[in-house]
Chains A and B, each alone.
Chain A
Amino acid sequence: MGDGPLNGRPLLHIDALYKEYDNPATLVLDKIGFDLFAEDFLCILGPSGCGKSTLIRCIAGFERYEGTIEIDGKGVTGPGSDRIMVFQEFNQLFPWKTVIKNIMYALKINGIKDREEARGRAELYLEKVGLIDYRDYYPHQLSGGMKQRVAIARAMALKPRIVLMDEPFAALDAMSRNQMQDELLRIKEGEGMTVLFITHNIQEAISLGNRIMVMGRKGNIRESMDNPLKKPITPASEGYSEMWRHLNQMLRDGS
């Protein structure tokens, strides 16, 4: 939680993270830094194109970067299953495998060679996202929201140190989105997951995060705060509108 520093070393430590793309030459992240502690749920807001995806992709190990990104004190040099990404795209499941095989395959790669053990673990997490009845479906037979649930189940089944989510609900309709938010929160609490969650949506950030960060257009961090509201958070919660206005202001001003 927000009192993380008491637990000692941060789970994720970022310092002076600098990233520019060569083609075309674009400065995206300008020496940013922050820490994330175990069981934190950090929501990152920011205007489109400010570098949120770039940041999360650097952490996931998909991009080269300058500066420091450490997980449990170890520098990130490439992708690894200690940091599992959940993408915005619905087609992140392998279409050639059924729902359960998608999860079992990820487990197998990560050293769970015993099929029954892998199946058991996969079923447990499908149960958690309410899709156990769909275990033998192929991804193309699922709705967008169901696919995202499977992706979340797959990420959790791998028990990564941190789950990285890049606008996983952005392409969903408002109702599924609210439902998915509730589910994610419930699962996160139950599992004690650490989550870094990117969103465009202020409501989503306030409802989900125990910490909220706002990025500015110049590859900087404009705001980094603890979320003082008590869960469950709805637009009717005390302090919600002040919070919303504050974050909205931060987003509007840009820089």
Chain B
Amino acid sequence: MNKKLLSQLAFIIAALLLWQLLYNMKIWPKMLFPSIPTIGKAIVEAFTKRGLPAMALHSLKLLVSGLCIGVFLAFILSSLFSINENMAAVYNMIVCMFDLIPGIALIPVAILWLGIGDEAIIFMVIHSCIWPMSRSIIDGFKAVPKIYVEVGRNFGLNGIGLISGVYLPASFERLFSGIKLGWARAWRGLISAEMVFGGSALGIGYYITDRRTNLDIAGIFATIVVIVLIGLIVEYGIFRIIEKNTVAKWGMVH
């Protein structure tokens, strides 16, 4: 594990050095290609002077609300439509159709229907995660080995008991990758929406637009770095830990 961590760190350092080298070669104007120290300073400024942490927190709050609603709705819809095969085919089609709509294409709809407040942002987040999540639920349940289902039924499980006792844990790996995919898409959808219309309070997407208006290229890169950092924290700090305590512990990772 430490070797992996070292390699990862080495890569990051190399990338930073390469960037700085390109900067020193003065190929592009400073205005477009800032130095690493300038970006570092912009990050510090973003945190100390410009209130980026509060904005990021606000964005994350909307993201988590939207994710929870989206995952919940995905479960409800997937279950409702699994009543018979025809309904399942219809839902499959719905998922295929809506999954193809880029979140950004729905922004005008969100604004017209819900205004430019948080509701519109949450709407975008739900759209980003509900379809990949539904797909994971449908595929995950389908892929549950028949023997677990039969063992469960043999013990006397059926209906909800069979779903919560067998289907959910047996398909946990897929459900979880659905959540991961949903989160990644929702995070992007959210930032796009905030860049276009802000929401009721200021979020991280607003911040990046604001930096652009101020021609602050270092600030833009600083925000991008923060966006990446948040992603890394979620991946390594939350998702990996959950995986380690579930599918990895159960020997269910492929």
A residues with CB within 8 A of B: 60, 62, 78-81, 83-85, 87, 89, 91-92, 94-96, 105-106, 109-110, 138-141, 158
Contacts and interface: CB of A to CB of B under 8 A. Distances in A.
A62 B155 contact: no
Contact of B250 (A84, A92, A95): A95
Interface stretch (B48-56, B144-152, B222-230): B144-152
Main SS at interface, chain B? helix
B155 A81 contact: yes
Given A85-B150, A92-B151, 17 more contacts: A62-B153, A79-B153, A79-B154, A80-B154, A80-B156, A84-B155, A85-B151, A87-B150, A91-B145, A94-B169, A95-B250, A95-B251, A96-B170, A96-B252, A105-B165, A109-B161, A110-B156
Interface in B142-192: 145, 147-148, 150-151, 153-157, 161, 165-166, 169-170, 172
Contacts of B170: 94, 96
Contacts of B249: 138
Closest 3 CB pairs of A and B: A140-B251, A96-B169, A79-B153
Contacts of A92: 147-148, 151
A61 B252 CA distance: 29
Contacts of B251: 95, 138-141
29 contacts: A60-B154, A78-B153, A79-B150, A79-B153, A79-B154, A79-B156, A80-B154, A80-B156, A81-B155, A84-B154, A84-B155, A85-B151, A85-B154, A87-B150, A91-B147, A92-B151, A94-B151, A94-B166, A94-B170, A95-B252, A96-B172, A96-B250, A105-B155, A106-B155, A109-B155, A110-B156, A138-B250, A140-B250, A140-B252
Given A85-B150, A96-B172, A109-B165, A158 B155 contact: yes
A85 B155 CA distance: 9
B246 interface: yes
A131 B152 CA distance: 23
Nearest to B168: A96
Contacts of B145: 91
A83 B150 CA distance: 12
Identify the interface centre among B147, B161, B252: most chain A CB within 10 Å of its CB.
B147
A118 to B, nearest CB: 13
Contacts of A62: 150, 153
A139 B145 CA distance: 16
B150 A109 contact: no
B250 A109 contact: no
A83 B156 CA distance: 10
